[in-house]
Structure 1
């Protein structure tokens, strides 16, 4: 493992050197032509030769017609152009090869030198390095930097200082609706997660599902494992740069979210509630993941190194098995009409320990895993109107653990806490992977034209390959089975999208978005069979693969969608939109024989189609306050693969016995209010959705063979969600969210609705946070997650026990240090001893799934951009 990291570090270290050598000659020539005045966002690209230390003996702050000027004076020589960054409302400039030597003070400070600027400080932060911080009242000031003989000048612009920002509302533009649209004009509940929030949560978990459950109202609570992720009690559609990550055969599993590392993500937009904007499976919402974008006009590299370890009770404090490590490197730039980005991320996650210091008994957790993610983007601006972009992302997760679930506790009377057992020394898997794995490869070619015959055209071709499998083979013989096996699955998806946005007038107050989507899925899953005689002869140590068998017949799914969406802005206050999508679905499979009972099933082709509609309105009382109402339909197919691999009794023909003529269609009604001020953002929404042919999967007692039964019955889900964020002043930020939902179905169709289980319908979830910039460049944050009680499903005899509440608190700190940022975090700060909702639900069904949550965990990392 250490050798792998060493090779990775050496390889990454060479990349910026090679790229820098290639562009250095051109950069040096270009810089000699430029004046000394450069943008505050640029970096010094001159070769890092040994330089004399320049002393700064005087600091002056002047009010000007355009704002404020900070002048650093030297007795001789010129200061180097500083590197800059912004942290909240503060612009930070760091000047290398410089020393502050004021005659009567160790640092310079000016308080409220002009309206809109609260503080200016100049100080030494390291040997031969000066830091200048300029803090704005409402936003970080934007400055231009000029160098001259014996002086360096930071000139701020008046537009950022005259109070304009403090008075104007924040404008947030979202693209999850397939077009760029201001949040205030979207008649739906939308959550936008920016890159800094993603990075903050990724300090503890690289699992995107875990990150989203902590940030998104209406999402299920964190589970600590790849398990069902729902929004508002239903499935979510996941797209990455337009590529769908859902497949028909992984609806009950979060493989769509195990497709990308947080380091590769720029932004995530979540539309909560059913919709068919991108096609099927969005009966609960849409998660639109946007990968990182190249920087403009400069060559930029970012490196981050970090570690994580358990720090809970018992013997788990900084225990060696709990240590994890991560390394991220990215480089991007622009050269003329070409821009590019490369990003690599490698993470080793150690063992998980609970609050008592015991290993978390999660039999399918993300502990002891290696992940690797590589992202490459190459874009070309063909002219001012046209752009071509190629995106490639490869993600791999694999487990390397000495522990497996202790299945024997299922035989102990009463409810037991899940535990792991160490594999016997010498345990070997031959011919297959000893640890489970996921691999996802996304490739996208996109073309856009901003004005083709008056319309904006966007098109895309994509290919996705997903594979999963591995793990210590499962011996079914003690449980009445006959084989020792594992499963291995593969899904290939390819397709394309074309969408055209046509305005109806020059003001673009009315427009039509129309186009077509096509996706083809090729899905297969096999059993790997292992030799029982060799396993017995070796004392349970040697698992040798001897055969493969058809676990699920290969099948294809073709999804064709034709859509049109009208948007009309009436005056300054009212926005209306409405649209429809025609869907045509085709399933095909060959004749096959079932593995379990050797039944011959006749293949064939099935086809179904439908139309879904949406309509919405937004009324702006003021520029900041609006109300919205919407009706939207979403749809999804049942997991066809799950039906085909273990078909019900009497199932002998795909065409005669599989009914997909009625996919699950969900009608959703939503009403909400939203306020977006510069220092305060609030939202409140209520929703109700109904499906006359809902879909629920219920595990068989004891998870017999991992089997579930499918329930198709009338189903309804309703709830309330609220969010608030308040920037109290330049140092304090606080806020939170609340989401409550309930769901039920009528399995017997007798008018008596019973509660849906708690892995689908999340209990009451409250989050809150408080953040403080204690010193310029030092930010601290506390956040709390409360998961409430839920007894409704227990009272309806749907669950074996009521769900109990729990509370966790996390702490984060970031410190500007040596031109970079030191990141420190403590998850589960008070070492709460609790069971996640997922494990509480399974506790009465199957003890090995009744695992605890992680105890206190600490992390530290250092990130620098140059």
Structure 2
């Protein structure tokens, strides 16, 4: 159970030793230029379709899959939110076929759950700051590449059905899932339809208790529909229309029984016997969609290809009901916010190839336009984050120079102009109780302008598979979750809010080695920013206020595996990360820095029809902060206690059909995920992880 990493093809469980795949046939499009994976001067992980399908045999959550298979990602929590789920300590920009899904103007940490895993052909993870896509890629990119129509058949596809249930407490835990894809090519016309329906039962922890509901998966219903229609004008020109619909909401009658971090008492969900309706509306993405039109020409003029993408996107992410949004004077005992975002944009990419002497050169260049209108009102009509209207225009050039098939040089520049309009608005009066409230401010709006230039430069030596080193420097930027800054403003004018963009500089040195059946990768990196954004809780109101501070983050990653001649694959990954404020030498909080993560895995093709694989993840301890005189820790600063998780699966596939069984948390580890332990002041987040959970399923190809 392995991903494809920067200089190797990960051969998944069940493949035979006789199977050989040319590495040069693999490409990565997340960098907006077709590249051989083995020549990229950076850390890249590709999770191919078979790896994704193996992950579904344990959990349908992509966040879980990324956490296990990709070194550098934080430990995951079984949750609809990717809050605290960082890539090398920073936010990753989430994309579907290159179209941004994140909402960086008001980061709600919900970007990872925008499509069902069954609709994906592969996932590309490009680590380190990226200037090629602009705002929001300070930690790297996660690009969901969707399935393509079958070019060799007029009608083909598959259908899968599965169920999940707790092996600790079966009652009410049964989940039901069905997904199917059909596609084909008829002359010049191609089509694909992929749908998934997943209805979760109650999610149980290792004690058989139902896990807390805030960002929880209990009673969650997910619906996803991906449609592609294509027309090939000739061998070189093609147009494709893609529509992706995603809805994933939690509609439950349960209510939370609050625990306590300081007392070590977990939050659980229980039957609502209060006699009153559960407050709030269903939480989760509601009727979200992406509409994309792509035109490509392989030879628009000599040695030059063209790709043009136009897209439109609508996001409505509904959050949980919170008493922290109360205002008794106006009759509100709480509130429920929703992030609204509408994007429309156009991307043009030209790629020209020319050779001279021992050099082969490819120049990729283009212009981007993006309009993003985002806000965060409350469901009851109050405005928490005002509407932010961003217009972004950018031009970029990326050059890849191959010298004598021994050296790959890569350099790029991106210049962009960003304009964000914010109207006058009033900050909300929010109350911890009837007498302790924040002070609202009337803020005069205005226009924010940013002119930003970012660069990247890298080189890799590719002549020797036994030792292929690289060095890479890249830059990205963030506008520091502008919505959080606006909603917490304590000034009377937008010009007084600290809205400077934060440039992130990322330096990485690494190498890969392939010696017979042994593959090893090592990378070390440092990521710096002068204006990172953290938060601190106002002790009087309980409102989290943004704090701008410099951040230095550095770490190391190792991947190694060995395939025996019997076909058995053994492997491991290791991630270590540290971070500090260079001005004060204070360590960065658990919001950015996660404990050490060690994974080990085994893939065993028992015979031509049966394969078995298992993985174990070890999360280390982290204890960098001191409690106050009352023994309490600030938010994101509590000690992290490590844990181990084991997953296993077995598949029987004699032909075009398969049956399988998977087990999540095989040893029924009793643990609190890192994200639960980090949020020390919010009992709603203090939930345990899933206990032993069984997955049974079948899939048929036709």
- Using the size of structure 2 for normalisation, the TM-score is 0.90
Shift of 1:182: 0.8
User: Which is helix-richer, 1 or 2?
Assistant: 1
Shift of 1:716: 0.3
**CA-to-partner distance for each residue in 1:163-198, whole Å, 9 max, x for gaps?**
xx49x7675321111111111211100111011111
CA–CA distance in 2 between the matches of 1:269 and 1:826?
26
Could you say which residue in structure 1 is the equivalent of 2:501?
Answer: 663
Could you say which residue in structure 1 is the equivalent of 2:493?
Answer: 653
CA–CA distance in 1 between the matches of 2:287 and 2:479?
24
- Structure possessing the higher radius of gyration over alpha carbons: 1
Alpha-carbon contact 1:756-1:793 (below 8 Å) kept: no
CA–CA distance in 1 between the matches of 2:299 and 2:572?
42
Alpha-carbon contact 1:309-1:323 (below 8 Å) kept: yes
Shift of 1:206: 2.6
**Alignment of 1:258 onto 2:113:** yes
Alpha-carbon contact 1:429-1:472 (below 8 Å) kept: no
CA–CA distance in 2 between the matches of 1:508 and 1:518?
33
2:404 to 571, 575, 583: 571
CA–CA distance in 2 between the matches of 1:358 and 1:265?
33
Alpha-carbon contact 1:363-1:420 (below 8 Å) kept: no
Alpha-carbon contact 1:258-1:438 (below 8 Å) kept: no
1:419 to 249, 254, 268: 268
- Where 1:839 maps in the other structure, the secondary structure is helix
1:381 to 232, 239, 251: 232
CA–CA distance in 1 between the matches of 2:274 and 2:523?
56
Alpha-carbon contact 2:359-2:403 (below 8 Å) kept: no
Shift of 1:677: 6.3
Alpha-carbon contact 2:106-2:482 (below 8 Å) kept: no
Alpha-carbon contact 1:811-1:827 (below 8 Å) kept: yes
- Where 1:320 maps in the other structure, the secondary structure is coil
Could you say which residue in structure 2 is the equivalent of 1:401?
Answer: 252
Shift of 1:445: 0.3
Shift of 1:774: 1.4
Could you say which residue in structure 2 is the equivalent of 1:244?
Answer: 100
Could you say which residue in structure 1 is the equivalent of 2:18?
Answer: 138
Could you say which residue in structure 2 is the equivalent of 1:824?
Answer: 661
Alpha-carbon contact 1:789-1:804 (below 8 Å) kept: yes
Shift of 1:364: 2.4
Could you say which residue in structure 2 is the equivalent of 1:325?
Answer: 176
**CA-to-partner distance for each residue in 1:704-730, whole Å, 9 max, x for gaps?**
55x322221221000100112322125
**Alignment of 1:227 onto 2:82:** yes
Shift of 1:358: 1.6
Could you say which residue in structure 1 is the equivalent of 2:590?
Answer: 758
- Where 2:477 maps in the other structure, the secondary structure is strand
Shift of 1:351: 1.0
Shift of 1:848: 3.0
CA–CA distance in 2 between the matches of 1:438 and 1:700?
32
2:547 to 705, 711, 733: 711
Shift of 1:785: 0.4
Shift of 1:625: 3.5
Shift of 1:274: 1.1
Could you say which residue in structure 1 is the equivalent of 2:301?
Answer: 453
1:345 to 196, 205, 208: 196
Shift of 1:479: 9.4
Alpha-carbon contact 2:58-2:649 (below 8 Å) kept: no
CA–CA distance in 2 between the matches of 1:695 and 1:473?
23
**CA-to-partner distance for each residue in 1:559-606, whole Å, 9 max, x for gaps?**
222111111111121111111111211110222233325532222211
2:346 to 469, 481, 496: 496
Shift of 1:435: 4.5
Shift of 1:436: 4.4
Q: Quick check: 855-864 or 558-567, which moved more?
A: 558-567
Shift of 1:620: 2.0
- The 1:800–1:389 alpha-carbon spacing in structure 2 relative to 1, beyond 3 Å, is closer
- The 1:192–1:627 alpha-carbon spacing in structure 2 relative to 1, beyond 3 Å, is same
Shift of 1:497: 0.3
CA–CA distance in 1 between the matches of 2:480 and 2:23?
44
**Alignment of 1:173 onto 2:21:** no
Q: Quick check: 492-501 or 728-737, which moved more?
A: 728-737
- The 1:443–1:812 alpha-carbon spacing in structure 2 relative to 1, beyond 3 Å, is same
Shift of 1:204: 3.7
1:614 to 456, 466, 469: 456
More contact order relative to length (CA 8 Å, sep ≥ 6):
2
- The 1:425–1:695 alpha-carbon spacing in structure 2 relative to 1, beyond 3 Å, is closer
- Using the size of structure 1 for normalisation, the TM-score is 0.74
Q: How many residues align?
A: 672
Could you say which residue in structure 1 is the equivalent of 2:574?
Answer: 738
CA–CA distance in 2 between the matches of 1:805 and 1:270?
26
**Alignment of 1:782 onto 2:638:** no
Could you say which residue in structure 2 is the equivalent of 1:519?
Answer: 370
- The 1:792–1:499 alpha-carbon spacing in structure 2 relative to 1, beyond 3 Å, is same
Task: Output aligned runs, 1:532-681, within 5 Å.
Answer: 548-596=381-429, 597=439, 599-623=441-465, 625-648=467-490, 651-654=491-494, 656-660=495-499, 662-676=500-514, 679-681=517-519
**Alignment of 1:687 onto 2:537:** no
- Where 1:792 maps in the other structure, the secondary structure is coil
